A and B are shown apart, each in its own frame.
Chain A
Amino acid sequence: MLSQLILVPTFPLLSATLLLLVGRQMPRPLVTLLGVGSIGAAALTVVLLLPQWLANPEPVTVLLWQWFAVANFSIDVALYLDQLSIIWLCTITGIGFLIHLYSSEYMAGDSDYARYFAYLNLFVASMLVLVLADNLLLLFLGWEGVGLCSYLLIGFWYQDSTNGAAARKAFVVTRAGDAAMALGLFLLVAELNTLDIKAVTGAAQAQWSAGSTLPTLACALLFIGAVGKSAQLPLQTWLPDAMAGPTPVSALIHAATMVTAGIYLLARLNGLFVLAPDVMTVIAWVGVTTALMAAFAALTQFDIKRILAYSTISQLGYMFLALGIGAWDAGVMHMMTHAFFKALLFLAAGAVIACLHHEQDIRRMGGLRRTLVIPFWSFLIGSAALAALPFTAGFASKDLILLMAWASGEQGKWLWSLAALGALITALYSFKLIFVVFFGVPKTEPNHQPGWRMSIPLTILAALSIGGGLIALPLRDVLPLPNYEAEHGLVAWISAAIPIAGVIAAFVLFQRNGIASIAAVRSNLGHWLAAFWRSGWGMDTLYDRLLVQPYKRLAHWWRHEPVDVAVRLIMWVVSRSHWTVAATQNGQLARYVTVMVLGLILMLALVVRTPT
């Protein structure tokens, strides 16, 4: 049953292989057909499979082949479909298809058109493997696959060395998390002798008691992996720089899908994580801190894509908060709605950037609401959903997270307060963006309008950003329900009012005069604070001082190879001795004779002196 499931990752993988091998020789329409069509075919397969599966919504395992077997430990290549993975499946293929369609126009003028689609298809294939994996090793394969594609696409325009640096940074920083995750997997293999997700959860619950050392350690290691991939504190520094890639890539990888892999890992292993309540608390606090800090950082950025990047970090923080307090379904829900509106925002930003001669600085934008109608409305709807205004998809999920946070035990009030403050800032920065870019005085005139391949994805995503909250997720069977109810009453009204307050504040502050008008920004402290937040709370500088500079110094020191000194000393002695001895071979026969005679005399003297 459902053996067609294999087709879903196969289409993009085949297309990626073809494009990588012979894409250069293909005519452009064929590349478009392959690149966009393969994801379309995958999305279509999912759509066709969906009613078949919904008729009988049981978890399905499709065993493909055995990967390897060592002693009594074996790993299969098997696909696993349940309520959780189908949500990701729909999101990845659906949004992936829209973004591919959009890319076919956005990247139309690029000389490396085929390479772009090859990487993008490979990414979708890896992501599908990640969410469909039946065991953690196959999941890890997809996990590393998306990391690789992220690296390739951030550095897509590699002729500019800063893009290459951003790509390397993303790769290295996420690798730090992946190392921890690999250690976590080793621990699971050593202790439970299995990596099958159901078996791991079952064995862990049978063998480990809640709160003991082993599950806490394993969960902490896996959580660090998720932190790296999902750009949470303290490994979030790579995501803002990842905006060096093409904008549709930012939409697909660094907003909608790949960065939610950490959420997926945690949600998938919920049975393991409930055994580590301490780690859950840490997850909640890391989430809410990241959400707040990234919101402040987003408030002060000038680059339109960096604003969205920090807002992604912030929204991922809300998801981690939801997972940390045990509101699994709220976190997954927010993942989905965030995918809708963040893809929308990025694609709209891409349209603005493309129509404005690749201008990304919001200080040089303004008054675009009349000239770029579709991007404006897309941006407005996306920002409304991001700010979680009522009647948007973002409201449905984020409000739920806030209310669950309030009700989640003794720390709940604190978590709620910080998250609510973050929500206020979110509304502030998202509508600051609207007012600065689309209202006020026009500064740059757009040179063309987005075509249908850009407009259609924007329209669909805008519709999803409003109505996406109504999709009822079938999560009751796969995720444990929290043992508390979402808060109702006054707190609910306050939570709903906070984003509106943020929008009003943005209107008052930024509607007429833009950024520079506020007195606080002009003061010394304001300047310093804004610069501090703009640099992402100085984390890059901190890491540079703490890790990069010492590493470079060490590398510089090792470059002179201190270990080789001993070897080179031997070499030096031998070579000096050689020249000393060689100097005696001067061809003067008389000297040879003299030395010979002296030697003979010496030997004679020895023989005579020594009594035989």
Chain B
Amino acid sequence: MTAAMAVPMEHALVVAGLLFCVGLFGLMLRRNIIFMLMALELMLNGAALAFIAAGARWGNADGQVMFLFILTIAAAEVSVGLGLVLQMRRQIRSLDMNDASRLRG
């Protein structure tokens, strides 16, 4: 536990927050669906890093359990997401997110 505390929790949280924000801005600014999926991954990782840091700080295993969950969810999400990307590529021959918005009122 002492070795792990070499990195203060605050630093880890700042990194996690920055990671989340990078993902968020990527999501907001990118139009390519693959980059958006990657940005989502970044956000998930940011949240997961926050769990790890918090678990390490209080010596609680729950943080690492949550990390495993997030990892699983991210894997599932990526597989579904990539499936969608493939379908999108086939159906509308574009990976631009705005080209897929056909339901506009």
Contacts and interface: CB of A to CB of B under 8 A. Distances in A.
Residue in B31, B36, B101, B103 with the greatest tally of chain A CB atoms within 10 Å: B101
A136 to B, nearest CB: 69
Contact of B104 (A587, A593, A594, A597): A587
A583 B98 CA distance: 16
A190 interface: no
A161 interface: no
Interface string B76-105: 000000000000000000000110011111
A585 B105 CA distance: 7
B6 interface: no
B29 interface: yes
Interface string A594-610: 10010000000000000
A588 B98 CA distance: 6
B101 A597 contact: no
Size category of the binding interface on chain A: 10 to 19
A66 interface: no
Contacts of A593: 24, 27-28
A593 B36 CA distance: 11
A589 B97 CA distance: 7
Contacts of A582: 105
B98 A587 contact: yes
B28 A597 contact: yes
A588 B97 CA distance: 8
Main secondary structure on chain A at its contact with chain B? helix
Nearest to B24: A597
A578 to B, nearest CB: 10
Contacts of A589: 36, 97-98, 101
Contacts of A585: 104-105
A590 interface: yes
B29, B97, B105: residue with the most chain A Cβ atoms closer than 10 Å:
B105
A72 interface: no
Nearest to B36: A589
A604 B95 CA distance: 33
B20 to A, nearest CB: 11
A524 interface: no
A586 B101 CA distance: 9
A128 B101 CA distance: 82
A590 B31 contact: yes
A553 to B, nearest CB: 45
B104 A586 contact: yes
Contacts of B101: 587-589
B2 to A, nearest CB: 32
Nearest to B27: A593
Contacts of A597: 24, 28
Contacts of B104: 585-587
A586 B29 CA distance: 16
A603 to B, nearest CB: 16
A597 to B, nearest CB: 6
B100 to A, nearest CB: 8
Contact of A587 (B24, B29, B103): B103
B28 to A, nearest CB: 5
Nearest to A591: B28
Interface string B44-72: 00000000000000000000000000000
Interface in A542-590: 582, 585-590
A589 B36 CA distance: 11
A593 B97 CA distance: 13
Contacts of A586: 104
A582 B102 CA distance: 15
A594 B97 CA distance: 15
Nearest to A594: B28
Contacts of A594: 28
A590 B24 contact: no
A590 B29 contact: yes
Nearest to A597: B24
Contacts of A590: 27-31, 97
B74 to A, nearest CB: 18
Contacts of B103: 587
A85 B36 CA distance: 103
A589 B98 CA distance: 7
A594 B24 CA distance: 9
Contacts of B27: 590, 593
Interface in B28-45: 28-31, 36
A587 B98 CA distance: 7
A586 B105 CA distance: 7
Interface string A29-49: 000000000000000000000
A406 to B, nearest CB: 92
Contacts of B30: 590
A497 B72 CA distance: 129
A585 B104 CA distance: 7
Nearest to A587: B101
A123 to B, nearest CB: 66
A413 to B, nearest CB: 90
A585 B28 CA distance: 16
Nearest to A584: B105
B7 to A, nearest CB: 26
Interface centre among B24, B28, B102, B104 (most CB of A within 10 A): B28
Contacts of B29: 590
Contacts of B36: 589
A290 B23 CA distance: 100
Nearest to A600: B24
B102 to A, nearest CB: 8
Contacts of B97: 589-590
Contacts of B24: 593, 597
Nearest to B102: A587
A582 B104 CA distance: 9
Given A582-B105, A587-B98, A587-B104, 6 more contacts: A590-B27, A590-B29, A590-B97, A593-B24, A593-B27, A594-B28
Interface of A: 582, 585-590, 593-594, 597
Interface of B: 24, 27-31, 36, 97-98, 101-105
- Interface pairs A-B: 8 shortest CB-CB: A587-B101, A587-B104, A589-B97, A593-B28, A585-B105, A594-B28, A582-B105, A590-B28
23 contacts: A582-B105, A585-B104, A585-B105, A587-B98, A587-B101, A587-B102, A587-B103, A587-B104, A588-B98, A588-B101, A589-B36, A589-B97, A589-B101, A590-B28, A590-B29, A590-B30, A590-B31, A590-B97, A593-B24, A593-B28, A594-B28, A597-B24, A597-B28
